[in-house]
Amino acid sequence: MRYKIAPLFCRPWTLNGISPRLIESHYENDYGNALSSLNAVTAELEALDPATTAAAVIHRLKRDEAALLNSTLLHELYFASLGGDGRTLPEPMAQAITRDFGSVKRWRDEFIALAHGLAGSSGWVLLTYVPRDARLINHTTAGHEQNLAGAIPILALDMYEHAYHLEFGANPAAYVAAFMRNIEWDTALERYQNAVKVEPPPRLIQKQFADLPSITVEEVKGMVETGKPVQIIDTRPRHYSTRAHEIMQGAVWRDPERVNEWIGELSKAEPVVTFCVYGFHIGCETAVTLRKAGFDARYLVGGHYAWKAIKGPLTLLEDTSSSEAGPVMRRIQPEEPSADPPLE
Ligand SMILES: [Fe+2]
């Protein structure tokens, strides 16, 4: 692989307060050097035999490759971010920024603050679209290789000293102000519109339960905290529960293999949430059974461990295995009276 130099994406003579000399030096020396070094490292990697080369050598070369590749990508984005009237945003761009930052002013204030925070050190300030969350976010990097995984930067401000020292000396604030005056928002909008076409990362789909209504742990936590009535049933398999020590606060454990024996405890007037260890089969199958019986039942996405991962409150799982109580093997005692499960 040989990387090719990209032409300048902005017209240096049109910039307001940023001279062609600065852009030429930046393009030729910093972007150009990064590209040359990237090609040299790539050639070295291609020439070595990974089966016989020391792991430390491969590690160093791959680390350099990632930093240099990102440097070329970010520099191209930086030059493409310049050349417009930074004050005027196309309406769709302004709407997207307002949606995710509250207002264009708030976005601008945060972006500039991030740039000022890098004054005296080095790094990038980026406006980036995150497909997983379908939103824009500002962030910085302390080097070339700290971009957000899976995200697409649409605006880049180079805060390495080489980007401004030639002209702005030790006054990075003046450089940041000049950058903001020269943002090319029309192409930023194009990049944003391309970015939103990127699908979020695919989730694990259980085809057999694709149509089964679900609920997230955040939603259930919100229901519990606001006192909304909900019947939460922990249906982790009996063999698993005998080893478990904790249970979601507000939930009761019921044996998923004996649904018919406890289904009568449930109320059809209130929603039911079922879950198992990770949110796969058993919680889903129980929800299916309950829905067939006429309950408003949903399975909890991610199950017990997703609840733990959001630091949802837990309580001790009481061992009542000596009880002759048939289907009800264990029953929790909520710590807060207000969190009484409605199944009692
Ligand atoms: Fe640079």
| pLDDT tens track, the chain, 344 positions | 899 999 999 999 999 999 999 999 999 999 999 999 999 999 999 999 999 999 999 999 999 999 999 999 999 999 999 999 999 999 999 999 999 999 999 999 999 999 999 998 899 999 999 999 999 999 999 887 778 889 999 999 999 999 999 999 989 999 999 999 999 999 999 999 999 999 999 888 888 898 999 999 999 999 999 999 999 999 998 888 777 789 999 999 999 999 999 999 999 999 999 999 998 888 999 999 999 999 999 999 999 999 999 999 999 887 544 343 333 333 333 444 444 333 32
Which residues share a beta bridge with 274? Answer: 233, 299
Task: Tell me the pTM.
Answer: 0.83
| 140 CA → ligand 1 middle, Å | 14
| 298 CA → ligand 1 middle, Å | 52
| 17 CA → ligand 1 middle, Å | 18
| 323 CA → ligand 1 middle, Å | 71
Question: Which pLDDT score, from 0 to 100, does residue 153 have?
Answer: 96
Distance between CA atoms of residues 66 and 241, nearest Å: 46
Question: Which pLDDT score, from 0 to 100, does residue 65 have?
Answer: 96
> Which residues are within 8 A (CB) of 2 and not within 5 positions of it... i.e. 6 or more apart?
39, 42
| 31 CA → ligand 1 middle, Å | 6
CA gyration radius for the chain? Answer: 28
| 117 CA → ligand 1 middle, Å | 17
| 163 CA → ligand 1 middle, Å | 5
| 178 CA → ligand 1 middle, Å | 16
| 259 CA → ligand 1 middle, Å | 64
Which residues share a beta bridge with 127? Answer: 138, 155
| 101 CA → ligand 1 middle, Å | 27
Question: Which pLDDT score, from 0 to 100, does residue 32 have?
Answer: 96
| 33 CA → ligand 1 middle, Å | 10
Burial letters for 120-136: b for 16+ Cβ neighbours within 10 Å, e otherwise? eebbbbbbbbbbeeeeb
| 26 CA → ligand 1 middle, Å | 6
| 193 CA → ligand 1 middle, Å | 26
Instruction: Quote the tokens at residue 137.
Output: 């976010």
| 188 CA → ligand 1 middle, Å | 19
Question: Which pLDDT score, from 0 to 100, does residue 257 have?
Answer: 92
Question: Which pLDDT score, from 0 to 100, does residue 206 have?
Answer: 84
